[in-house]
Amino acid sequence: MGIIVVIKMLGAVMLLLYAVRMVRTGFERAAGPTLRRVIGRASAGAVSGAFSGMVVAVLLQSATAVAMLAAGFATSGFITTAAGLAVLLGADLGSSLVVQFLVFDLSWLVPLLLAAGAWLFLKLDARAAKQTGRILLGIAFILLALGMIGEATSPLKDAGFMPQIAAYLGQDAPTAMAVGAVLAFLVHSSVAAVLMIAALVQNAGLSLEAAVPLVLGANVGAGLVALWLTRGMDRKARLLPLGNFLFRTTGAILALLLLARLTPLLEIIASNAAQQVVAAHVAFNFLLVVVCLPLTRPVSWLVERLLPEGATEENSDLLLPQSALDRQLVSNPRLALASATRELLRMGELVEMMARPVILMLEKGSEPEIRRLQQLDSHVNAIHSSIKLYIAEVNRGELDAEQAERSMELVSFAVNLERAGDLVAKNLLELALELQSNKISFSKEGLKELTWMHDRVLANMELALNVLVSADVASARELIAEKDKMRALERESHDRHLDRLKTRTLQSMESSNAHLEVVRSLKDINSLFASAAVPILAREGQLRDTRLVPAE
């Protein structure tokens, strides 16, 4: 029976982790740029930053995902360490609210979620519909996994060893907290860890005295996950999870010292044992926000002293990934072209890194921030040159027809990425400098249009890089279809802008040239990335030779 319980438990936990990731992927693909922009605006204040982090964590069902997003903005200098810590505190609370929602019996929703999610994902072609279907399926799988965890743990209530383990953990709170930390770190999710602990309380007879320290440990372990994932990133990125880990650990230790007084309060909050465990988790993270939010500035000062700048931080080039071009593979065309593809992927990611904060820069970017982004273009140009020379060297060897064609496709896409980088650095970011120096801003309606187009372009950039690697025909078709949609969006934005000019709206008149240039540049960047799909569809015979109607 023990082996069967372990297998069932392992399968349920893996399904739970996969389902949480599925929901997160759906939200990232449907509204990833919007979520990043919400995090990027967190510098408005500690309270607004915490609220932003909470909202995004609820949607992504992961405080760690929010920590990684905030770390990226901290690296670029768009949010301060104090603002980032506020975001992470809010994200911790948001992920605990997800647990609070999932602990209720929602099994009746599973058939509806499966039916609606599968229909949206399988029958509709629109990106938003597919990702909504993915999200609904992910939530259904989470609920199924929770049911499986409950079924797997129910035999433990009658197991002879369970009372001894529960009693030991209940009497040794520090050990229980350490076990909870290890559990959360192993599954890389505080949501999954706390739900598992709640299931053990509900179905296996684990006492509240043992469960609460386990939950406190899960919070510490979740902080360790973010520290681990950012260990190779820039110092500014590592400051945020370090500060958040200090908040979580200090709070958990203080809560552990007050455990005897806090446990009776849980019985007042909720009658169900599992809900009491989740209530402790939510209350802990809520109190962390209330107590620690005023302390973000002093703690940011502390972590900057604990993690001083090293010599490697002075050279930003060392922070960039190393080249994937392997000269030893030149004589092997198949491996050499794979190496060039990886380098193209890196080049595309650099262009995406430049383009991601463009709207923020157009709206309120400072000159140092904009110049820092523009410097990335030199790296893009260097990669472009390296890829061309590398493939030229590969072509001196013996290539079959398919390899020769692939080499030309890679060079062509490298040229397009280099051009896209120029459009970002020399058009959009230069416009941002001009707007800030002249104190010109877009109208509310105009900024909304540009933001929508920008979000779509960023999503298409990610899709294009996936197509580059996977050569998936369905994704390639979606990418080319997005090119037509962007063309329609450009026309609509142009018409709406002219209508605003007719009303003599001052902001629209001042920003007219900039608005039209941004729209045009975004459309061109989208087209350059969409070129990744052309050779794939051409080979499949799924492209027309011309858009012209045949002449009579």
Query: Model confidence over 79-130: pLDDT tens digits?
Result: 788 888 999 999 999 988 888 887 777 778 889 999 999 998 888 877 778 8
Task: Tell me the pLDDT tens digit for each residue of 48-67.
Answer: 888 888 988 888 878 888 88
Task: Tell me the pLDDT tens digit for each residue of 462-517.
Answer: 889 989 988 888 888 888 888 888 888 888 888 888 888 877 767 677 778 888 89
pLDDT of residue 194: 87
pLDDT band at 311 (very low <50, low <70, confident <90, very high): very low
DSSP alpha helices (H): ranges in 124-234?
127-153, 162-171, 173-187, 190-204, 208-229
* 507-510-511 Cα angle (round to 5): 85
Average pLDDT over residues 264-288: 81
pLDDT of residue 61: 76
Among 320-324, 375-379, 502-506, the range with the most confident prediction by mean pLDDT is 375-379
pLDDT band at 313 (very low <50, low <70, confident <90, very high): very low
Which of these ranges, 113-122, 230-239, 307-316, 482-491, has the smallest mean pLDDT?
307-316
pLDDT of residue 312: 42
* CA separation for the pair 151, 204 (Å, rounded): 10
pLDDT of residue 270: 66
Q: Is 472 left (phi over 0), alpha (psi -120 to 50) or beta?
A: beta
DSSP secondary structure of 369-410: HHHHHHTHHHHHHHHHHHHHHHHHHHTTS---HHHHHHHHHH
In the block, residue with structure tokens 């209940």: 170
Among 73-87, 165-179, 291-305, the range with the most confident prediction by mean pLDDT is 291-305
Handedness of CA 49, 54, 57, 58 (dihedral sign): negative
Q: What is the pLDDT of the chain when averaged over all its residues?
A: 83
Q: Looking at the predicted structure, is the pLDDT value of residue 160 above 70?
A: no
Q: Is the pTM of this model over 0.85?
A: no
Q: Looking at the predicted structure, is the pLDDT value of residue 314 above 60?
A: no
**Cβ(341)–Cβ(263) under 8 Å?**
no
Between 210 and 249, whose confidence is greater? 249
CB burial readout 393-424, b (16+ within 10 A) else e: ebbeeebeeebeebbebbbebbebbbbbbbbb
